[in-house]
Amino acid sequence: MNKNRCVNMIARLFNAPLEEAEAAVGVGTVGSSEAIMLAGLAFKRRWQNKMRAEGKPCDKPNIVTGANVQVCWEKFARYFEVELKEVKLSEGYYVMDPEKAVEMVDENTICVAAILGSTLNGEFEDVKLLNDLLVEKNKETGWDTPIHVDAASGGFIAPFIYPELEWDFRLPLVKSINVSGHKYGLVYAGIGWVIWRTKEDLPEELIFHINYLGADQPTFTLNFSKGSSQIIAQYYQLIRLGFEGYRNIMENCNENMIVLKEGLEKTGRFNIISKDIGVPLVAFSLKDNTQHNEFEISDSLRRFGWIVPAYTMPPNAQHVTVLRVVIREDFSRTLAERLVNDIEKVMHELDALTARVTSKILITEEKKENDVNVTVVKKTELETQREITDAWKKFVKARKTQGVC
Ligand SMILES: *Cc1c(COP(=O)(O)O)cnc(C)c1O
């Protein structure tokens, strides 16, 4: 079956400890979200079985992650009643700190979830350090807290361009890994994968065996029927491109990421928040956001046909707003250069606009001051700033309704 072939190829890509002809353990899913639900369920069940065997309560499972986790982890936690213990971020450090994570681990921790390629800035978390710290903690406490790696984006990046980086099954505590086929797996939306280290890491009681389709079919997915087109597409991409093909594409994405990053740096107006080693994306924020903010840039870029999201970071870095551009296979160097150009145009427009709006406000104020009946209270800088922003918003709104988008 193509699905099993894909599982075998991906498991070997992630260095699963398999013999030459041994079949890997894993399933194809709708995406990483479903993959994460399944991996989480397997951890929960393993932990429950262990606690029960030791005669201990097993009604308060928790999972330790960074506050930068993708929303599907929160979904897993709520739907399957597992407490999510999040390591807070801080300004300048936007991924899970392994030391803090290991500190939060207790006897009820079903796993620590690390992310290879944070959604927010593409950064790879230090899974190796996490593994080493957790090995120590497990030794001290007698627990055996495992690690899951959410490699939704990074799983098809790191093996090809950072083969030396140890983040996968080479680390003994990594028991399962998910990856999205529809991100850097280069397939249309609707495919993800979860791979377990060994058979022992996926409790047998979660697998259903059905035979009414002609043969024994083990199934472990949240829904039963699913189109096979995505799996065929994944299989096609894997064998058509091969290791070399994927590596060339990922290298190319990375080079275009550098072009974009350097172009943005050259404007002198942005802080780059993504890393050179990570998912090929550029996350950046304004050095000076007193005149305009990242949301305004995002808004203005739409007129040039770019959809560049702006968002605030999770706690405790929620005061930081970033813009993010993910470099896909079809994002060429020319497009990277054009985007830098368009961002520069937008910045000039915003600057000119602020200058106009500011002078208008000053004129109105002067008029007020000349009017003896009006008591003028000197405005604080913040109030002035608010007025500028309000006036600016009105200006943009007015233009939007007339403009051709
Ligand atoms: C995209 C993403 C997910 C969710 O993946 P889907 O395939 O869209 O369900 C989970 N985790 C991370 C880190 C992601 O980037």
Domain ranges in the chain are 2-226, 248-398
- Domain at 248-398: CATH code: 3.90.1150.160
Q: How far is the CA of 44 from the centre of ligand 1 (A)?
A: 20
pLDDT at res. 374: 47
Residue nearest ligand 1's atom 15 by CA: 119
pLDDT at res. 100: 98
Counting ligand 1 atoms within 8 A of each CB, the residue from 29, 30, 32, 157 with the most, and so the one to mutate, is 32
pLDDT at res. 224: 81
pLDDT at res. 52: 97
Q: Give DSSP secondary structure letters for 69-110.
A: --HHHHHHHHHTT-EEEEEP-BTTB-S--HHHHHHH--TTEE
pLDDT tens digits, 349-383: 999 987 777 777 666 666 655 655 544 445 566 66
Handedness of CA 152, 154, 157, 162 (dihedral sign): negative
223 φ, ψ (degrees, to nearest 5): -120, 165
Counting ligand 1 atoms within 8 A of each CB, the residue from 72, 118, 177 with the most, and so the one to mutate, is 72
pLDDT at res. 376: 47
Cβ proximity of 130 and 146 under 8 Å: no
Q: Round to whole Å and give the CA distance between 1 and 355.
A: 64
Does the pLDDT value for residue 398 go beyond 60? no
For 119, 197, 322, the CA distances from 39, given in Å and listed in that order, are 19, 11, 30
Counting ligand 1 atoms within 8 A of each CB, the residue from 30, 34, 36, 70 with the most, and so the one to mutate, is 70
Band (pLDDT 50/70/90 cuts) for residue 219 is confident
On average, the pLDDT of the chain sits at 91
Burial (CB count within 10 angstroms: exposed 0-12, middle 13-18, buried 19+), residue 381: exposed
pLDDT at res. 103: 98
Among candidate residues 36, 4, 43, the one with its CA nearest the CA of residue 217:
4
Does the pLDDT value for residue 69 go beyond 90? yes
- CB atoms inside a 10 Å sphere around CB 121: 22
Of 50-54, 167-171, 221-225, the one with minimum mean pLDDT is: 221-225
For 179, 190, 216, 344, 363, the CA distances from 227, given in Å and listed in that order, are 19, 9, 19, 44, 65
- CB atoms inside a 10 Å sphere around CB 61: 21
More confident residue, 2 or 346: 346
Q: How far is the CA of 293 from the centre of ligand 1 (A)?
A: 27
Q: Which CATH architecture has domain 2-226?
A: 3-Layer(aba) Sandwich (3.40)
Q: What is the DSSP letter of 192?
A: E
248-398 shares the fold of 2-226? no
Q: What's the mean pLDDT in 297-310?
A: 96
pLDDT tens digits, 252-283: 999 999 999 999 999 999 999 999 999 999 99
pLDDT tens digits, 8-40: 999 999 999 999 989 999 999 999 999 999 999
Of 82-91, 114-123, 313-322, 364-373, the one with minimum mean pLDDT is: 364-373
Give residue 117's Cα distance to chain centre: 6
Residue 125, SS3 per DSSP: coil
- CB atoms inside a 10 Å sphere around CB 329: 13
Q: How far is the CA of 383 from the centre of ligand 1 (A)?
A: 41
Hey, which bits of 104-260 come out as E strands? Answer: 109-115, 147-150, 174-180, 192-196, 208-210, 217-219
> Ligand 1 — pocket residues by CB below 6 A?
31-33, 70, 72, 115, 117, 119, 150, 152-153, 180, 192
How large a percentage of the chain has pLDDT more than 90?
79
pLDDT at res. 369: 55
Counting ligand 1 atoms within 8 A of each CB, the residue from 75, 150, 222 with the most, and so the one to mutate, is 150
Residue nearest ligand 1's atom 5 by CA: 32
Q: How far is the CA of 172 from the centre of ligand 1 (A)?
A: 24
Does the pLDDT value for residue 330 go beyond 60? yes
Determine the atom of ligand 1 nearest the C-alpha atom of 34.
9
Does the pLDDT value for residue 397 go beyond 50? yes
Q: What's the mean pLDDT in 169-181?
A: 98
